[in-house]
Structure 1
Amino acid sequence: MQNVILIVHLILALSLIGIVLLQRSEGGGLGMGGGGVMTGRAAATALGKITWLLAIGFIVTSMTLTILAAANSENTSVVDRLTSQPAPAETSEPAPASDDNLLPPAPEGDAPLVPRAAE
């Protein structure tokens, strides 16, 4: 159930982005240029109505997903779950010494430590 609502939520989000990008710009910040947001009456275009429907659907699915997530969660904190886990099992392998630096072992004899040039 939660997956279906999540998929519908994602489709609504993408559709809302697309519809908003299709609308024409009125210019001016916050609709100051041609009277959009700041006037008493908004334009009742088809794209405006679709935008409102998608926005309402997006908000409803957001709240539904939040309610479902809260119902499925445990009443413990994440920190409590991290500290209540058992300690990892001890390994029989000794810890590396502080001077080990993952370099290959030194060559035996008087071989130089300079890498060979590519041939």
Structure 2
Amino acid sequence: MQNIILTVHLILALLMIGVVLLQRSEGGGLGMGSSGGGAGGGVMTGRQAANALSKATWVLAAGFLITSVALTVLAANEAGESSVLDRIGVGNTTAPAADDTNTTGSAIPDVDLTPPPATDSPVTPPAAQ
């Protein structure tokens, strides 16, 4: 069901892009090639084309909104009570094994964090073995 709604949603989005791109800012729309007085023999006058395109835009936008809400409701129902973090196992704390402890008794390895003594000589890389 979700795949069908998603497909309709994508088709509506593409159609809405096309309809919006057909519209002209002056309101010409599909009648952009006809002459001023309607004597050009076009299918629609400029005003009729603008009205048809604006109505089509509203219909497509309403369908897009409805499919967006439907997809959100379906995703919320499918998610249930679990979160993404629950699915990947973040927050599952387990006690460390007895072998993993260091000298202080914690699972963090012993690391010497003190900086090396300052010297005036340059640091040389270790020799290759």
TM-score (normalised: structure 1):
0.53
Q: Which residue of 1 aligns with 2:113?
A: none
Higher RCO (CA-CA < 8 Å; seq separation 6+): 1
1:61 corresponding residue in structure 2: 67
How many pairs are equivalent? 87
- Counterparts of 1:45 and 1:78 in 2: how far apart (Å)? 46
Structure 1 gap segments, 5+ residues each: 28-42, 88-119
RMSD between aligned residues: 3.7
Q: Matched residue of 2:24: which SS?
A: coil
2: distance between equivalents of 1:3 and 1:73? 16
1:9 aligns with 2:6: no
Q: Distance in 1 between matches of 2:52 and 2:83?
A: 47
What amino acid does structure 2 have at the position aligned with 1:9?
A: H
Match of residue 46, structure 1, among 8, 33, 52: 52
Larger mean Cα displacement after TM superposition, 12-21 or 68-77: 68-77
- In structure 2, the residue matched to 1:78 is 84
State the structure with more CA Rg: 2
**CA displacement at 1:77 relative to structure 2:** 2.8
Percent of aligned pairs sharing the same letter: 59
Output the TM-score relative to the length of structure 2.
Answer: 0.50
Q: How far off is 1:25 after superposition? A: 1.2
Structure 2 unaligned regions, length at least 5? 28-47, 95-129
